[in-house]
Amino acid sequence: MRDIKTKQILLCIASAFLLSIPFFLDLAWPLLFISFIPLFINIDHLSSKKAFKIGTLTGTIAYFITTYWLVGTLTRFGGFPLIIGIVFHLIISIYSGLLFGLFCSLITSDLLKKFRLINTLIIGIIWVAIEYHYPLLFPFSIASPLANYYPIIQISDLFGV
């Protein structure tokens, strides 16, 4: 991670916060639609290997923020010491953040660069496929904050996710 610059870390944090805020505030769901912009700016013109690192860092931060409650659950109900709860939370966040790393690695691969015209569609398909097949420990996805917004739910009910 030494090859990641301060600007890239700040963009990772910005993207992670934009992804996390709608999980806490119901009316902040539109942020989901712009939350990937800092990430895409960050990985533009990077190798797949470096994009994997950037994506994993972004995903780890986002999952660490959205699953903040895990530490309290482990310490109160699991009887674990606080340090064990924090370490376990970090391990789960890193594992879940690998989803973002895989996504960023795939969309910066040389194969995708050949199809510039239909990149937007391909990127969406890649995200949905990875999110569907990646074994997450908690059954929530990036679309979970949209569940309270009924027009979006109706669209997905008619046409699918």
Q: Please, which residues have CB within 8 angstroms of residue 83's CB and are 6 or more apart in sequence?
A: none
Has residue 8 got a pLDDT over 80?
yes
Sequence-ordered alpha helix ranges (H) in 44-118: 48-66, 69-76, 82-107, 110-113
**Confidence (pTM):** 0.88
Mean pLDDT for 134-161 is: 76
Percent of the chain residues topping a pLDDT of 70: 91
- Average pLDDT of every residue of the chain: 88
Has residue 139 got a pLDDT over 80?
no
- What is the model's pLDDT at position 127? 87
**pLDDT category, 131, cuts 50, 70, 90?**
confident
**pLDDT category, 45, cuts 50, 70, 90?**
confident
pLDDT tens, residue by residue, 62-75: 999 999 999 999 99
Q: Where are the domains of the chain?
A: 6-159
85-116 in b/e form (b: 16+ CB < 10 A) is: beeebeebbbbbbbbbbbbbbbbbeeebeeee
Mean pLDDT for 68-96 is: 95
Q: Is 65 exposed, middle or buried (0-12, 13-18, 19+ CB in 10 A)?
A: middle
- What is the model's pLDDT at position 10? 96
